[in-house]
Amino acid sequence: MGHDFVVRYAAAVGLMAGLLVCLYGVARFVARAKQCAPGKPGLARVMASIPLPSAPAIHVVRMGERYVVIATSNASVALIGELPETEITVRQAPKG
């Protein structure tokens, strides 16, 4: 086995590793796009929002089976607390 074979083998292995990394990145991108696609439920769903003068907004967010209250600003997101499911009343939006 000559030096030329080793160089070609190493280049082929490097190329295959690079292709696998690229395919992994594409697969992650596609999975995220499907999870965040409009009209598709994801892990988190904003149930209600209230804009405030002191902070841009307070939100009630459903995270799986839990309901959390968060405050958001341009620079941060802060957890205020968690609501028991017994205190949540979900109303349907009026049709029309």
pLDDT in the model for residue 74: 80
- Token digits of residue 12: 């082929």
Residue range 20-47, pLDDT digits in tens: 888 888 888 777 766 655 555 667 788 8
Residue range 43-59, pLDDT digits in tens: 778 888 888 887 688 88
pLDDT in the model for residue 25: 82
pLDDT in the model for residue 24: 85
Which ranges of the chain does DSSP label H, i.e. alpha helix? 3-35
d(CA 16, CA 84): 51
d(CA 82, CA 55): 19
Number of neighbours of residue 10 by Cβ within 10 angstroms:
10
Residue range 62-82, pLDDT digits in tens: 887 788 999 888 888 888 988
**Spatial strand order in the sheet of 57-63:** 44-50, 57-63, 66-72, 77-83
